[in-house]
Amino acid sequence: MFENSRLLIDSSNPPEPGQVIWRSPSNLAIIKYWGKYGRQLPRNPSLSLTLASSCTDTSLEYAFKEEPDNQIDLDFFFHGEENDAFRAKTLAFLESLTPHFPFLRQLQLTIQTGNSFPHSTGIASSASSMSSLALCLCSLEDALFGTLQDGADFDRKASYIARLGSGSACRSIFPHAAVWGATPAVPGSSDEFAVPAAGLLHPAFKDFHDDILIVSTEEKAVSSRAGHALMEGNPYAEPRYAQAKARLSSLVQALQEGDLETFGKIAEDEALALHALMMCSNPSYLLMQPNTIELLHKIRAYRAETKHPVYFSLDAGPNIHLLYPGELVSDIRGWIEEDLKEHCVDGWFIHDWVGEGPEEL
Ligand code: PMV
Protein backbone atom coordinates (compact mmCIF):
# COMPACT_ATOMS: atom_id res chain seq x y z
CA MET A 1 0.00 0.00 0.00
CA PHE A 2 1.18 3.53 -0.88
CA GLU A 3 4.23 2.15 -2.72
CA ASN A 4 5.04 4.19 -5.83
CA SER A 5 8.14 3.54 -7.93
CA ARG A 6 7.36 6.61 -10.09
CA LEU A 7 8.24 9.05 -7.33
CA LEU A 8 11.71 9.81 -8.70
CA ILE A 9 13.18 13.24 -9.32
CA ASP A 10 13.94 14.10 -12.93
CA SER A 11 17.67 14.95 -12.75
CA SER A 12 17.33 17.36 -15.72
CA ASN A 13 14.98 19.45 -13.56
CA PRO A 14 16.27 19.21 -9.98
CA PRO A 15 14.39 20.92 -7.14
CA GLU A 16 15.80 23.84 -5.16
CA PRO A 17 16.97 22.90 -1.66
CA GLY A 18 14.14 23.21 0.85
CA GLN A 19 12.83 22.40 4.30
CA VAL A 20 9.62 21.09 5.85
CA ILE A 21 8.82 21.27 9.58
CA TRP A 22 6.08 19.55 11.56
CA ARG A 23 5.04 19.59 15.20
CA SER A 24 3.18 16.44 16.15
CA PRO A 25 1.68 15.38 19.48
CA SER A 26 1.68 12.19 21.46
CA ASN A 27 -1.58 10.34 22.06
CA LEU A 28 -3.12 8.35 24.88
CA ALA A 29 -4.87 5.10 24.01
CA ILE A 30 -8.11 4.57 25.91
CA ILE A 31 -8.57 1.18 24.19
CA LYS A 32 -5.04 -0.21 24.14
CA TYR A 33 -3.18 -1.72 21.22
CA TRP A 34 -1.18 -4.60 22.70
CA GLY A 35 -0.20 -7.45 20.42
CA LYS A 36 0.76 -7.21 16.78
CA TYR A 37 1.64 -9.29 13.74
CA GLY A 38 3.24 -8.83 10.32
CA ARG A 39 4.63 -5.35 9.79
CA GLN A 40 3.10 -3.45 12.71
CA LEU A 41 -0.44 -4.70 12.21
CA PRO A 42 -2.62 -4.63 15.33
CA ARG A 43 -4.28 -7.70 16.85
CA ASN A 44 -7.15 -5.49 17.98
CA PRO A 45 -8.52 -2.04 17.19
CA SER A 46 -7.55 0.85 19.48
CA LEU A 47 -8.91 4.31 20.18
CA SER A 48 -6.87 7.25 21.45
CA LEU A 49 -7.17 10.85 22.49
CA THR A 50 -4.71 13.15 20.72
CA LEU A 51 -2.68 15.21 23.19
CA ALA A 52 -1.53 18.81 22.86
CA SER A 53 1.48 19.72 24.95
CA SER A 54 3.60 16.53 24.70
CA CYS A 55 4.91 16.81 21.18
CA THR A 56 7.90 16.50 18.86
CA ASP A 57 9.13 19.10 16.39
CA THR A 58 10.91 17.67 13.36
CA SER A 59 12.58 19.61 10.57
CA LEU A 60 13.62 17.87 7.36
CA GLU A 61 15.99 19.75 5.06
CA TYR A 62 16.71 18.40 1.61
CA ALA A 63 18.99 19.15 -1.30
CA PHE A 64 19.28 17.28 -4.60
CA LYS A 65 22.49 15.21 -4.83
CA GLU A 66 24.46 16.25 -7.91
CA GLU A 67 26.42 12.97 -7.84
CA PRO A 68 23.87 10.14 -7.87
CA ASP A 69 24.52 7.13 -5.63
CA ASN A 70 22.30 4.46 -4.19
CA GLN A 71 22.29 5.38 -0.55
CA ILE A 72 20.40 7.64 1.78
CA ASP A 73 22.59 10.52 3.01
CA LEU A 74 21.42 11.62 6.43
CA ASP A 75 22.67 14.08 9.03
CA PHE A 76 20.72 13.77 12.25
CA PHE A 77 20.47 16.09 15.26
CA PHE A 78 18.48 15.50 18.43
CA HIS A 79 17.99 18.61 20.55
CA GLY A 80 20.72 20.28 18.49
CA GLU A 81 23.31 17.53 18.95
CA GLU A 82 24.40 14.71 16.70
CA ASN A 83 23.05 11.41 17.97
CA ASP A 84 24.52 8.28 16.38
CA ALA A 85 22.04 5.82 17.90
CA PHE A 86 18.97 7.79 16.74
CA ARG A 87 20.61 8.45 13.36
CA ALA A 88 21.18 4.72 12.80
CA LYS A 89 17.57 3.90 13.73
CA THR A 90 16.17 6.65 11.54
CA LEU A 91 18.38 5.66 8.64
CA ALA A 92 17.20 2.04 8.86
CA PHE A 93 13.60 3.27 8.95
CA LEU A 94 14.13 5.52 5.90
CA GLU A 95 15.79 2.62 4.04
CA SER A 96 12.71 0.51 4.73
CA LEU A 97 10.55 3.31 3.26
CA THR A 98 12.25 3.58 -0.14
CA PRO A 99 9.43 1.63 -1.89
CA HIS A 100 7.12 4.42 -0.68
CA PHE A 101 9.54 7.32 -1.19
CA PRO A 102 12.13 6.19 -3.81
CA PHE A 103 13.36 9.80 -4.15
CA LEU A 104 14.97 9.62 -0.70
CA ARG A 105 18.14 8.17 -2.25
CA GLN A 106 18.40 11.20 -4.56
CA LEU A 107 18.61 13.72 -1.73
CA GLN A 108 20.99 14.89 0.95
CA LEU A 109 18.81 14.95 4.08
CA THR A 110 19.21 16.71 7.42
CA ILE A 111 16.80 15.92 10.23
CA GLN A 112 16.66 18.04 13.36
CA THR A 113 14.24 16.83 15.98
CA GLY A 114 13.38 17.41 19.62
CA ASN A 115 10.60 16.86 22.13
CA SER A 116 8.66 19.42 24.14
CA PHE A 117 9.33 17.26 27.21
CA PRO A 118 12.84 16.45 28.44
CA HIS A 119 14.16 13.24 26.92
CA SER A 120 15.01 10.01 28.79
CA THR A 121 12.13 10.71 31.13
CA GLY A 122 10.28 7.46 30.76
CA ILE A 123 7.67 9.26 28.65
CA ALA A 124 7.21 7.46 25.35
CA SER A 125 8.07 9.79 22.51
CA SER A 126 7.75 7.28 19.68
CA ALA A 127 4.19 8.37 18.78
CA SER A 128 5.05 12.06 18.49
CA SER A 129 8.45 11.53 16.88
CA MET A 130 7.37 8.94 14.31
CA SER A 131 4.25 10.90 13.36
CA SER A 132 6.22 14.14 12.92
CA LEU A 133 8.76 12.35 10.72
CA ALA A 134 6.01 10.71 8.64
CA LEU A 135 4.32 14.09 8.16
CA CYS A 136 7.63 15.61 7.01
CA LEU A 137 8.12 12.81 4.49
CA CYS A 138 4.62 13.28 3.09
CA SER A 139 5.12 17.06 2.87
CA LEU A 140 8.40 16.41 1.07
CA GLU A 141 6.67 14.09 -1.42
CA ASP A 142 4.00 16.70 -1.99
CA ALA A 143 6.55 19.52 -2.41
CA LEU A 144 8.47 17.50 -5.02
CA PHE A 145 5.62 15.84 -6.91
CA GLY A 146 2.32 17.48 -5.87
CA THR A 147 0.93 14.00 -5.26
CA LEU A 148 -0.71 14.53 -1.86
CA GLN A 149 -2.79 17.64 -2.48
CA ASP A 150 -5.95 16.09 -1.08
CA GLY A 151 -5.90 16.48 2.73
CA ALA A 152 -7.51 13.11 3.39
CA ASP A 153 -4.99 11.31 1.13
CA PHE A 154 -2.15 13.16 2.82
CA ASP A 155 -3.34 12.19 6.31
CA ARG A 156 -3.92 8.58 5.32
CA LYS A 157 -0.43 8.16 3.88
CA ALA A 158 1.12 10.01 6.85
CA SER A 159 -0.75 7.73 9.25
CA TYR A 160 0.27 4.62 7.29
CA ILE A 161 3.95 5.66 7.27
CA ALA A 162 3.87 6.62 10.97
CA ARG A 163 2.46 3.17 11.73
CA LEU A 164 5.44 1.50 10.08
CA GLY A 165 7.68 3.47 12.47
CA SER A 166 5.70 2.84 15.65
CA GLY A 167 2.18 1.39 15.64
CA SER A 168 0.56 3.85 18.02
CA ALA A 169 2.10 6.80 16.11
CA CYS A 170 -0.45 6.35 13.32
CA ARG A 171 -3.15 7.72 15.66
CA SER A 172 -1.30 11.01 16.35
CA ILE A 173 -2.07 12.38 12.87
CA PHE A 174 -5.64 13.36 13.72
CA PRO A 175 -7.13 16.05 15.96
CA HIS A 176 -8.97 15.13 19.18
CA ALA A 177 -9.23 11.36 18.68
CA ALA A 178 -8.38 8.53 16.32
CA VAL A 179 -9.22 4.88 15.75
CA TRP A 180 -6.70 2.40 14.40
CA GLY A 181 -7.69 -1.15 13.44
CA ALA A 182 -10.66 -2.43 11.51
CA THR A 183 -13.82 -2.41 13.61
CA PRO A 184 -17.49 -2.51 12.63
CA ALA A 185 -18.03 0.29 15.19
CA VAL A 186 -16.19 2.79 12.95
CA PRO A 187 -16.94 2.67 9.21
CA GLY A 188 -13.80 3.09 7.09
CA SER A 189 -11.48 1.95 9.89
CA SER A 190 -8.42 -0.05 8.86
CA ASP A 191 -5.51 -2.05 10.23
CA GLU A 192 -3.19 -0.18 7.85
CA PHE A 193 -3.75 3.37 9.09
CA ALA A 194 -5.76 5.29 11.66
CA VAL A 195 -8.89 7.27 10.86
CA PRO A 196 -10.11 10.50 12.46
CA ALA A 197 -12.55 10.02 15.32
CA ALA A 198 -13.21 13.61 16.43
CA GLY A 199 -16.69 13.23 14.95
CA LEU A 200 -17.43 10.54 17.56
CA LEU A 201 -16.77 12.86 20.49
CA HIS A 202 -19.49 14.53 22.48
CA PRO A 203 -18.30 18.10 23.24
CA ALA A 204 -17.57 17.02 26.84
CA PHE A 205 -14.59 15.01 25.61
CA LYS A 206 -13.09 17.70 23.37
CA ASP A 207 -12.19 19.62 26.50
CA PHE A 208 -10.68 16.66 28.38
CA HIS A 209 -7.45 16.98 30.29
CA ASP A 210 -4.71 14.42 30.72
CA ASP A 211 -2.13 15.35 33.35
CA ILE A 212 0.79 12.94 33.36
CA LEU A 213 2.12 12.09 36.82
CA ILE A 214 5.77 11.08 36.47
CA VAL A 215 6.38 8.21 38.86
CA SER A 216 9.66 7.08 37.35
CA THR A 217 12.01 8.35 34.67
CA GLU A 218 13.97 5.14 34.39
CA GLU A 219 14.13 3.19 31.18
CA LYS A 220 11.57 0.39 31.15
CA ALA A 221 12.89 -3.07 31.98
CA VAL A 222 10.87 -4.53 29.08
CA SER A 223 10.35 -2.47 25.91
CA SER A 224 6.97 -2.16 24.19
CA ARG A 225 8.41 -4.08 21.26
CA ALA A 226 9.25 -7.02 23.56
CA GLY A 227 5.87 -6.65 25.30
CA HIS A 228 3.95 -6.93 22.02
CA ALA A 229 6.01 -10.01 21.13
CA LEU A 230 5.20 -11.68 24.46
CA MET A 231 1.49 -11.48 23.63
CA GLU A 232 2.10 -14.27 21.11
CA GLY A 233 2.58 -16.81 23.91
CA ASN A 234 0.16 -15.23 26.37
CA PRO A 235 -2.64 -17.66 27.32
CA TYR A 236 -5.04 -14.71 27.67
CA ALA A 237 -4.25 -13.25 24.25
CA GLU A 238 -7.38 -14.38 22.40
CA PRO A 239 -9.86 -13.38 25.14
CA ARG A 240 -7.99 -10.09 25.42
CA TYR A 241 -8.39 -9.30 21.71
CA ALA A 242 -12.10 -10.13 21.94
CA GLN A 243 -12.41 -7.93 25.04
CA ALA A 244 -10.73 -4.96 23.32
CA LYS A 245 -13.01 -5.29 20.29
CA ALA A 246 -16.15 -5.34 22.45
CA ARG A 247 -14.93 -2.48 24.63
CA LEU A 248 -14.18 -0.33 21.62
CA SER A 249 -17.84 -0.52 20.57
CA SER A 250 -18.99 0.38 24.10
CA LEU A 251 -16.49 3.24 24.24
CA VAL A 252 -17.69 4.68 20.92
CA GLN A 253 -21.21 4.77 22.31
CA ALA A 254 -20.05 6.42 25.56
CA LEU A 255 -18.04 9.01 23.62
CA GLN A 256 -21.01 9.86 21.44
CA GLU A 257 -23.37 10.16 24.38
CA GLY A 258 -21.01 12.13 26.62
CA ASP A 259 -21.19 9.28 29.17
CA LEU A 260 -18.21 10.12 31.40
CA GLU A 261 -18.76 7.27 33.81
CA THR A 262 -18.66 4.55 31.17
CA PHE A 263 -15.69 6.27 29.52
CA GLY A 264 -13.83 6.35 32.85
CA LYS A 265 -14.62 2.75 33.69
CA ILE A 266 -13.38 1.57 30.30
CA ALA A 267 -10.24 3.75 30.53
CA GLU A 268 -9.29 2.31 33.93
CA ASP A 269 -10.20 -1.28 33.03
CA GLU A 270 -8.08 -1.05 29.88
CA ALA A 271 -5.09 0.35 31.76
CA LEU A 272 -5.26 -2.44 34.34
CA ALA A 273 -5.85 -5.10 31.65
CA LEU A 274 -2.70 -3.93 29.84
CA HIS A 275 -0.62 -4.37 32.98
CA ALA A 276 -2.34 -7.64 33.87
CA LEU A 277 -1.29 -8.98 30.47
CA MET A 278 2.31 -8.09 31.30
CA MET A 279 2.02 -9.93 34.61
CA CYS A 280 0.63 -12.99 32.79
CA SER A 281 3.28 -13.06 30.07
CA ASN A 282 5.96 -15.71 30.00
CA PRO A 283 8.27 -14.46 31.41
CA SER A 284 6.06 -12.26 33.53
CA TYR A 285 7.02 -8.69 34.28
CA LEU A 286 5.77 -5.72 36.21
CA LEU A 287 6.13 -2.09 35.14
CA MET A 288 4.09 -0.46 37.91
CA GLN A 289 6.03 0.97 40.85
CA PRO A 290 4.88 1.33 44.48
CA ASN A 291 3.98 4.98 43.81
CA THR A 292 1.88 3.93 40.81
CA ILE A 293 -0.28 1.76 43.07
CA GLU A 294 -0.38 4.45 45.75
CA LEU A 295 -1.65 6.98 43.21
CA LEU A 296 -4.22 4.62 41.70
CA HIS A 297 -5.75 4.16 45.16
CA LYS A 298 -5.70 7.91 45.77
CA ILE A 299 -7.47 8.61 42.50
CA ARG A 300 -10.24 6.13 43.26
CA ALA A 301 -10.61 7.44 46.83
CA TYR A 302 -10.76 11.06 45.61
CA ARG A 303 -13.43 10.13 43.08
CA ALA A 304 -15.50 8.33 45.70
CA GLU A 305 -15.22 11.29 48.05
CA THR A 306 -15.75 14.21 45.66
CA LYS A 307 -17.90 12.46 43.01
CA HIS A 308 -15.72 14.24 40.45
CA PRO A 309 -15.35 12.32 37.16
CA VAL A 310 -11.59 11.87 37.38
CA TYR A 311 -10.06 8.66 36.06
CA PHE A 312 -6.67 7.14 35.39
CA SER A 313 -4.98 5.49 32.47
CA LEU A 314 -1.53 3.93 32.13
CA ASP A 315 0.74 3.39 29.17
CA ALA A 316 3.28 0.60 29.09
CA GLY A 317 5.12 2.12 32.05
CA PRO A 318 4.70 3.30 35.65
CA ASN A 319 3.50 6.86 34.93
CA ILE A 320 -0.13 7.80 35.40
CA HIS A 321 -2.43 9.71 33.07
CA LEU A 322 -5.05 11.60 35.05
CA LEU A 323 -8.15 12.15 32.94
CA TYR A 324 -10.82 14.72 33.74
CA PRO A 325 -13.07 17.32 32.09
CA GLY A 326 -11.78 20.88 31.63
CA GLU A 327 -14.22 22.39 34.10
CA LEU A 328 -12.35 20.64 36.94
CA VAL A 329 -8.94 22.07 36.09
CA SER A 330 -8.53 24.26 39.14
CA ASP A 331 -9.79 21.58 41.58
CA ILE A 332 -7.54 18.92 40.13
CA ARG A 333 -4.47 21.12 39.90
CA GLY A 334 -4.91 22.02 43.57
CA TRP A 335 -5.27 18.35 44.46
CA ILE A 336 -2.16 17.41 42.47
CA GLU A 337 -0.13 20.09 44.25
CA GLU A 338 -1.43 19.11 47.66
CA ASP A 339 -1.69 15.37 47.56
CA LEU A 340 -0.29 13.71 44.42
CA LYS A 341 2.93 15.55 43.61
CA GLU A 342 4.77 14.00 46.53
CA HIS A 343 4.47 10.59 44.83
CA CYS A 344 6.00 11.88 41.60
CA VAL A 345 9.71 11.80 40.93
CA ASP A 346 11.03 15.24 41.92
CA GLY A 347 7.38 16.33 42.23
CA TRP A 348 7.14 16.25 38.47
CA PHE A 349 3.99 16.13 36.34
CA ILE A 350 3.01 17.40 32.90
CA HIS A 351 -0.18 19.26 32.07
CA ASP A 352 -1.70 17.97 28.88
CA TRP A 353 -5.10 17.95 27.23
CA VAL A 354 -6.95 16.88 24.11
CA GLY A 355 -5.48 18.81 21.21
CA GLU A 356 -5.93 19.89 17.65
CA GLY A 357 -3.43 17.44 16.15
CA PRO A 358 -0.21 18.07 14.21
CA GLU A 359 0.73 21.44 12.83
CA GLU A 360 3.02 22.35 9.95
CA LEU A 361 5.41 25.08 11.11
O1 PMV B 1 3.28 1.87 19.39
P2 PMV B 1 4.00 0.98 20.32
O3 PMV B 1 4.56 -0.20 19.60
O4 PMV B 1 5.02 1.72 21.15
O5 PMV B 1 2.93 0.37 21.35
C6 PMV B 1 2.20 1.18 22.21
C7 PMV B 1 1.36 0.40 23.10
C8 PMV B 1 0.62 1.17 24.18
O9 PMV B 1 1.11 2.49 24.31
C10 PMV B 1 0.81 0.46 25.50
C11 PMV B 1 -0.87 1.20 23.89
C12 PMV B 1 -1.31 2.08 22.76
O13 PMV B 1 -2.27 1.70 22.09
O14 PMV B 1 -0.75 3.17 22.58
Which tens digits make up the pLDDT trace of 227-250? 999 999 999 999 999 999 999 999
Residues 72 and 109 in one domain: yes
Domain boundary among 146, 175, 200: 200
User: Does the Cβ of 121 fall within 6 Å of ligand 1?
Assistant: no
Looking at residue 125, what is its pLDDT? Answer: 82
Residues 256 and 343 in one domain: yes
Residues 147 and 250 in one domain: no
Residues 175-222: pLDDT tens digits? 999 999 999 999 999 999 999 999 999 999 989 999 999 999 888 889
What residues make up the domain containing 221?
203-350
Residues 238 and 274 in one domain: yes
Q: What is the DSSP string of 222-245?
A: S-HHHHHHHGGG-TTHHHHHHHHH
User: Does the Cβ of 46 fall within 6 Å of ligand 1?
Assistant: yes
Residue 135 to residue 116: CA distance in whole angstroms: 17
State the average pLDDT for the chain: 95
**Is the confidence at residue 134, as pLDDT, over 90?**
yes
**Is the confidence at residue 333, as pLDDT, over 90?**
yes
Residues 25-83: pLDDT tens digits? 999 999 999 999 999 999 999 999 999 999 999 999 999 998 878 899 999 999 999 99
User: Does the Cβ of 224 fall within 6 Å of ligand 1?
Assistant: yes
**Is the confidence at residue 335, as pLDDT, over 80?**
yes
Phi, psi of 153 (to 5 degrees): -65, -40
Query: Ligand 1 centre from 247 Cα, in Å?
Result: 17
Looking at residue 66, what is its pLDDT? Answer: 84
Looking at residue 217, what is its pLDDT? Answer: 87
CB of 193 within 8 A of CB of 163?
Answer: yes
Domain boundary among 200, 217, 240: 200
Residues 117 and 223 in one domain: no
User: Does the Cβ of 139 fall within 6 Å of ligand 1?
Assistant: no
Q: Give me the mean pLDDT over the 102-128 stretch.
A: 86
Number of folded domains that form the chain: 2
User: Does the Cβ of 167 fall within 6 Å of ligand 1?
Assistant: yes
CA distances from residue 26 to 85, 109, 128 in whole angstroms, order as listed: 22, 25, 4
Looking at residue 327, what is its pLDDT? Answer: 96
Q: Where are the beta strands (DSSP E) in 1-45?
A: 18-31, 36-37, 41-42
Confidence of residue 121 (pLDDT cuts 50, 70, 90): low
Residues 192 and 222 in one domain: no
Percent of all residues in the chain with a pLDDT value above 70, rounded to a whole number? 98
**Amino acid, single-letter form, for residue 152:** A
**Is the confidence at residue 120, as pLDDT, over 80?**
no
Looking at residue 119, what is its pLDDT? Answer: 64
pTM: predicted TM-score of the whole model, two decimal places: 0.96
CB of 201 within 8 A of CB of 259?
Answer: no
239 belongs to a structural domain: yes
Q: Give me the mean pLDDT over the 99-107 stretch.
A: 96
Residues 166 and 306 in one domain: no
Residues 263-287: pLDDT tens digits? 999 999 999 999 999 999 999 999 9
Residues 305 and 233 in one domain: yes
Residues 183 and 246 in one domain: no
Question: 127-143 burial, b for 16+ CB within 10 Å, e for fewer?
Answer: bbbbbbbbbbbbbbbbe
Query: Ligand 1 centre from 65 Cα, in Å?
Result: 37
Residues 82 and 141 in one domain: yes
Query: Ligand 1 centre from 31 Cα, in Å?
Result: 10
Query: Ligand 1 centre from 169 Cα, in Å?
Result: 8
User: Does the Cβ of 270 fall within 6 Å of ligand 1?
Assistant: no
Domain boundary among 166, 183, 200: 200
